[in-house]
Amino acid sequence: MPRAILLLVALALAGCGPRLLQWGWDEPDQRDLLRYRLLMERSPFDGVILRLTTLDAAGRPHNFAWEAAVRPFPREELAPAVADLKAAATSRLRHHFLRVNLNPADRPFDLFDDAAWATLTGNLVAAARAAREADLAGLLLDPEAYSDPDPGTGRARYNVFDYTRGALPDRPFAAYREEAFRRGFAVVQAVGGAHPEVTLLLAFAYSGPCLLEDGELSSRAYGLLPAFVDGMLAARPSRMRIVDGFEPTYGARGCGEFAAARRALRDRCAALSLNPERLADLEVAFGLWMDYRSTGPCARFGAAGQPCPWYDPLLHPESRQGQLDPGRFREAVAAALALTDGYVWIYAEQPRWWTTDPREANLPEAYAEAVRAARRAAGAACREH
């Protein structure tokens, strides 16, 4: 029997199964979980990727996800947000993930910067404690560099996983790689001390630099990320789950593509690791983009203050129209659920799941039904794989 089917049977016998998560531009904070609790319970999801909004001693708001590598968040500042998380708990949605960005968006962040890493690690420990107290499934670690592009190279100006952005050009790639391993090890060692059963879901781990880049590892924008994840896996407590979220499968729409992604992690992606044997402890999830590559075509609608008809095939090149078809998207979600080790997450930009205003939602019923139907069809998908 294929491994994916065996996994689904085992999960079913354990009283669980593959879990479907939502993440998008409508990313809720802890207050939104309270506000939209009933709407979320009626949705096809098992959880969401969420952020924490806090107020400092002066009453200024802060986004924990985006500032975790920038400033310490004291316990007393986080306490009200954690209380809201606990109050928002539902009987059905038990797989929320708290987002933490690993790259600051507006300042340098170097692997040899001890003070900055002490800040980030301390905040990750605080996030793990919050997840434990509020009974969240885990943390979503986003390694993407969101800073503006460097005019000279087109790459993000600040990216801790990009050796070419390193603050110490006299140190060779091997030294930075060793430091990346050490930082990943220290992060998981600290987080595991606070919550040894937490799940750490990376938006992408080895899959990003492996499937989206090529060339020498030292020249790839995320060439230091594999060593960081190596360190995470080396320090992983036995009950902690570390998951590659496979953002590179955003546009995948068939069983073969997801099966190929799984195989790539164990062969070509393993070549990026300092210790490929450790990848046996890494789980696979899949990311899917509902309104695939909608940002550009939708820009003129946003400028005019109008909702974008992102599902209109006339907006997109013919090569992308199939990826925006709700029927194909249903097949993709079902296939991903059949082949994941536990999680599938759906990313979206234009659609809004968490609103009571239909004009703001921009979520065609055909797409909402596609996600619901995919859940029903997941058990029968990809049997030959």
Q: How confident is the model at residue 90 (pLDDT cuts 50, 70, 90)?
A: confident
What is the per-residue pLDDT across 137-174, written as a single tens digit (0 to 9) for each? 999 999 999 999 988 888 999 999 999 998 998 999 99
CB count within 10 Å of CB 301 equals 17
Q: Find the radius of gyration of the CA atoms of the chain.
A: 20
CB 74 within 8 A of CB 123: no
The Cα 344–Cα 307 span in angstroms is 27
Q: Which of helix, strand or coil describes residue 168?
A: coil
What is the per-residue pLDDT across 27-54, written as a single tens digit (0 to 9) for each? 999 999 999 999 999 999 999 999 999 9
pLDDT at residue 10, as a whole number: 38
Residue 142 within any structural domain of the chain: yes
* DSSP secondary structure, 207-240, as one string: HHHHHS--S-GGGSTTTTHHHHHHHHHHH--TT-
Q: Which domain, by its residues, includes 149?
A: 3-380
The model's pTM is: 0.94
Length of the chain equals 385
Residue 385 within any structural domain of the chain: no
How many domains are there within the chain? 1
Give which of 240, 242, 210, 243 is closest to 225, Cα–Cα.
210
pLDDT at residue 384, as a whole number: 66
Higher pLDDT, 384 or 37: 37
Main-chain phi, psi angles of 199, to 5 degrees = -100, 130
Contacts of 300 (CB under 8 A, 6+ apart): none
Give which of 111, 191, 186, 172 is closest to 143, Cα–Cα.
111
For residue 33, what is the domain's CATH number? Answer: 3.20.20.80
Residue 46 within any structural domain of the chain: yes
235-249, 276-290, 352-366: least confidently modelled range: 352-366
Residue 170 within any structural domain of the chain: yes
The Cα 206–Cα 385 span in angstroms is 22
What is the per-residue pLDDT across 320-340, written as a single tens digit (0 to 9) for each? 888 999 999 999 999 999 999
Residue 48 within any structural domain of the chain: yes
